[in-house]
Amino acid sequence: MQNSKVITHDVIVVGAGLAGTWAAMTAAENGVKDVAVLSKIHPLRSHSGAAQGGIAAVLNNVRPVAGTGPRGPLEQIPPGDDPVDSFDLHMFDTIKGSDWLGDQDAIEIMVKDAPDIVIQYEHMGCVFSRTPDGRIGQRRFGGHSAPRANFSADRTGHVLLHTIHEQALLHNVKFYSEWYVMDLIIEDNIARGVVAINVLTGDIHVLRAKAVMFGTGGYGQAFKVTSNAYANTGDGVALAYRAGAPLMDMEFVQFHPTGLYRHGFLMTEACRGEGGYLINKDGERFMAKYAPDKMELAPRDLVSRSEQTEINEGRGVMEDGQGIFLDMRHLGREKILERLPEVRDLAIAFAHVDPIDDPVPIQPTAHYSMGGVPTTVDGEVLANANGDLITGFYAAGEVSCVSVHGANRLGTNSLLEASVFGRRAGRAIAEFIKGGAKLYPISGDPAKKNTDYVTELFNNDGEELVEDIVQDLKATMTNKVGIFRNDEDLKSALNDIHQLQQRFKNIRIMDKSSRFNTNLSMTLEARNLLTFSEVIVAGALNRTESRGAHSRTDHPKRDDENWLKHTMAHKDEDGRPKLSYKDVTLYWDRFPPQERKY
Amino acid sequence: MSNKDLQRTVTVSIQRFNPDVDKKPHMQDYQVKMWPGMTILDALHEIKTHQDGSVTYRRSCRHGICGSCAMHINGRNTLACKTPIISELDQNDRVTIGPLPYLPVIKDMVVDRTSFWEQYLRVKPWLIPPENIPEREFRMSQEEVKALHDAEACIMCGACYSSCAVIGMNKKYMGPHALLKAFLRVLDPRDTAPSERLEIVSQADGVARCHTIFNCIDACPKGLNPTQAIETLRKLAQKRQKYEEAKKERQKHLNEPIPS
Amino acid sequence: MYKSTGFISWLLRRISGVALVLYLFTHLWVIGAANSGVEVFNNRLDAVQTPLFKFLEIALLAAVVYHGLDGIRLLLIHYFDLTEYRKSMFWAVFILAAILTLIGGAGILIIMANGG
CB contacts of B61 in chain A (<8 Å) are 45, 47, 49-50, 229-231
pLDDT exceeds 50 at position A1: no
CB contacts of B140 in chain A (<8 Å) are 127-128, 130, 134
Compare CB distances from B126 to A50, A155, A167 and report the shortest one's residue.
A167
Which ranges in A244-284 belong to alpha helices (H)? Answer: 270-273
Cβ–Cβ gap B218/C74 under 8 Å: no
Least confident range of A97-111, A151-165, A341-355, B89-103: A341-355
- With touching defined as 3 or more inter-chain CB pairs under 8 Å, the answer for chains C and A is no
User: Interface partners of A (3+ CB pairs, < 8 Å)?
Assistant: B
Chain B nearest CA to C60, separation (Å): 23
The pLDDT of residue B3: 46
Cβ–Cβ gap B217/C83 under 8 Å: yes
Average pLDDT of chain A to the nearest whole number: 95
Is A49 or A269 the better-scoring residue by pLDDT?
A49
Q: Locate the chain A residue with the closest alpha carbon to B258.
A: A133
Q: What is the pLDDT of residues A230-248, one digit of tens each?
A: 999 999 999 999 999 999 9
Compare CB distances from A41 to B19, B39, B60 and report the shortest one's residue.
B60
Classify B156 as helix, strand or coil: coil
Cβ–Cβ gap B66/A47 under 8 Å: yes
Residues of A identified as active-site: 300
Cβ–Cβ gap B165/C6 under 8 Å: yes
pLDDT exceeds 70 at position C116: no
Compare CB distances from C7 to B213, B227, B235 and report the shortest one's residue.
B213
Chain A nearest CA to B234, separation (Å): 23
Q: What is the pLDDT of residues A342-366, one digit of tens each?
A: 899 889 988 889 999 999 999 999 9
The whole-angstrom separation of Cα B149 and Cα A157 is 15
Q: What is the pLDDT of residues B161-208, one digit of tens each?
A: 999 999 999 999 999 999 999 999 999 999 999 999 999 999 989 999
The pLDDT of residue A535: 97
Q: What is the DSSP string of A66-131?
A: TTS-TTS-EEEPPTTSPPS--HHHHHHHHHHHTTT-S-HHHHHHHHHHHHHHHHHHHHTT----B-
pLDDT class of A218 with cuts at 50, 70, 90: very high
- Is the ipTM, as predicted for this complex, more than 0.90? yes
Mean pLDDT, residues A396-404: 96
CB contacts of B163 in chain C (<8 Å) are 2, 4
Mean pLDDT, residues A521-546: 97
pLDDT class of C115 with cuts at 50, 70, 90: confident
Q: What distances in angstroms separate CA A25 from CA A129, A143, B64, one per listed residue?
A: 25, 32, 27
Q: What is the pLDDT of residues A459-504, one digit of tens each?
A: 998 999 999 999 999 999 999 999 999 999 999 999 999 999 999 9
Residues contacting A119, CB < 8 A, separation 6+: A59, B135, B136, B137
User: Quick one: which of A493, A483, A490 has its CA closest to A551?
Assistant: A483
Chain B nearest CA to A230, separation (Å): 5
CB contacts of C83 in chain B (<8 Å) are 214, 217, 225, 227-228
The DSSP bridge partners found for residue B98 are B72
For chain A, what percent of residues have pLDDT higher than 70? 100
- Tell me which residues of chain B, numbers 219 to 258, contact chain A at a CB-CB cutoff of 8 Å: 257-258
A334, A510, A521: best mutation site toward chain B, by most B Cβ within 10 Å?
Answer: A510
Cβ–Cβ gap B136/A119 under 8 Å: yes
- With touching defined as 3 or more inter-chain CB pairs under 8 Å, the answer for chains B and A is yes
Chain B nearest CA to C1, separation (Å): 7
The pLDDT of residue A531: 97
Q: How many of the other CB atoms lie within 10 Å of CB of B9?
A: 9
pLDDT digit string (tens) for chain B, length 260 residues: 444 577 899 999 999 999 999 999 999 999 999 988 899 999 999 999 999 999 999 999 999 999 999 999 999 999 999 999 999 999 999 999 999 999 999 999 999 999 999 999 999 999 999 998 999 999 999 999 999 988 999 999 999 999 999 999 999 999 999 999 999 999 999 999 999 999 999 998 999 999 999 999 999 999 999 999 999 999 999 999 999 999 999 999 998 998 87
- CA contacts within 13 A on the Cβ side of A171: 24
Mean pLDDT, residues C50-55: 83
Mean pLDDT, residues C75-98: 91
Farthest CA pair distance, chain A: 72
Cβ–Cβ gap B231/C7 under 8 Å: no
What secondary structure letter does DSSP report for A350?
I
Where is A27: in which H helix or E strand? helix A18-29
A1, A42, A512: best mutation site toward chain B, by most B Cβ within 10 Å?
Answer: A42
Cβ–Cβ gap C74/B212 under 8 Å: yes
C1, C2, C80, C87: best mutation site toward chain B, by most B Cβ within 10 Å?
Answer: C2
Average pLDDT of chain B to the nearest whole number: 93
Compare CB distances from B62 to A134, A229, A514 and report the shortest one's residue.
A229
The DSSP bridge partners found for residue A39 are A177
The strand order across the sheet containing B94-98 reads: B26-33, B9-16, B94-98, B70-73, B76-79
Say how many CB pairs under 8 Å bridge A and B. 168
Chain B nearest CA to A343, separation (Å): 10
CB contacts of B190 in chain A (<8 Å) are 125
Chain C nearest CA to B28, separation (Å): 21
Q: What is the pLDDT of residues B96-105, one digit of tens each?
A: 999 999 999 9
The pLDDT of residue C57: 87
Which ranges in A340-465 belong to alpha helices (H)? Answer: 341-346, 413-434, 446-459
The pLDDT of residue C1: 56
Cβ–Cβ gap A510/B53 under 8 Å: yes
